[in-house]
Amino acid sequence: MSTPDLTLPLATILQKVTFKTHKTVANSLGAIALVSGRLPKDQYIRYLMMLWHIYSTFEPALEQHATHPTLEPIYNPAVLARSLSLSADIAYLLDVPEASWKSHPIHLALLKDTPLVLKAYVNRVRELAEAQDPSPLLGHVYVRYLGDLSGGQTVRRAIVKAYGLDGKSGEGLSFYTFKELESTKKGMQGELKHIKEWFRDGMNKAGERGNDVKASVIGEANTAFDLNIELFDAINAELDEGMKMKTYQSYQVIAAIALVCLFFWCSSTVASHEWTLRR
């Protein structure tokens, strides 16, 4: 890997140095199954549960360091926080009260046989939260929240079709819904672009603290991508061979979409385009 040009703004550096990792994500059958809407519903719910465990560790860590100069510019839980949305979606998809989904057999099975990557992900976030300098947490902020704001919108369209959800009511889809920056209204596509611009500015402001901060965030962003790739591999491991074959056959169509949209700074043109995913 070439040495990044630390004279550039942090958001620009991150986009450049993680480009190859985007390709790796696009090659993951687990990611393709998700983006194409081919992931069985119970496996999708299990995936949301894994994300809930990550966010419910990650977001308290951000709150703990909300005034840290590296993290403060992007700290806005009213807009970005996802753990409560994930909990609501899981309960809706299981058709159970939100207070009871943690005792559902799917979640109990996840706790009994927790993927190593989920343990590693949660432990890594906890480690950073207790570090003397929590700046590397910004790398995880970049990977997760920008993915939700960008490629997550493509996933939303796929799962509406795959699981027969009501895109207008948004029930079961709150993980992919963001509020406007300056109100409690639901953010439309133009507002998502505005949020990403605000986020990029915050990243760059954090990077102005110096090259040491930039280097630590870049390194941790790569770690976060590796963990997310392994998370998709864990999804792939749960698919039966027939589903893997169907997903692989969709690869050439879906990979280009995943590369551009999943975990990427989508352009307004791509983000607004209605992709048709053939089942």
Pull the structure tokens for residue 138. Answer: 């910004």
A 10 A CB-CB count for 77 gives 13
- The HSE-up count of residue 110 (CA atoms within 13 Å, CB side) is 24
Contacts of 108 (CB under 8 A, 6+ apart): none
Domain annotation covers residue 277: no
Q: List the domain range (segments joined by +) for residue 50.
A: 10-272
* Number of compact structural domains in the chain: 1
Domain annotation covers residue 151: yes
Domain annotation covers residue 279: no
Please list the ranges in the chain whose pLDDT falls under 70. Answer: 1-2, 26, 183-190, 240-279
Domain annotation covers residue 5: no
A 10 A CB-CB count for 193 gives 18
Domain annotation covers residue 254: yes
pLDDT single digits (tens) 39-63: 999 999 999 999 999 999 999 999 9
- The HSE-up count of residue 90 (CA atoms within 13 Å, CB side) is 26
pLDDT value of position 188 = 56
Handedness of CA 251, 257, 259, 263 (dihedral sign): negative
Least Cα distance to 73 among 253, 201, 224, 214 occurs for 201
pLDDT value of position 183 = 58
Domain annotation covers residue 200: yes
pLDDT value of position 263 = 44
CATH number of the domain where residue 82 is located: 1.20.910.10
pLDDT value of position 261 = 47
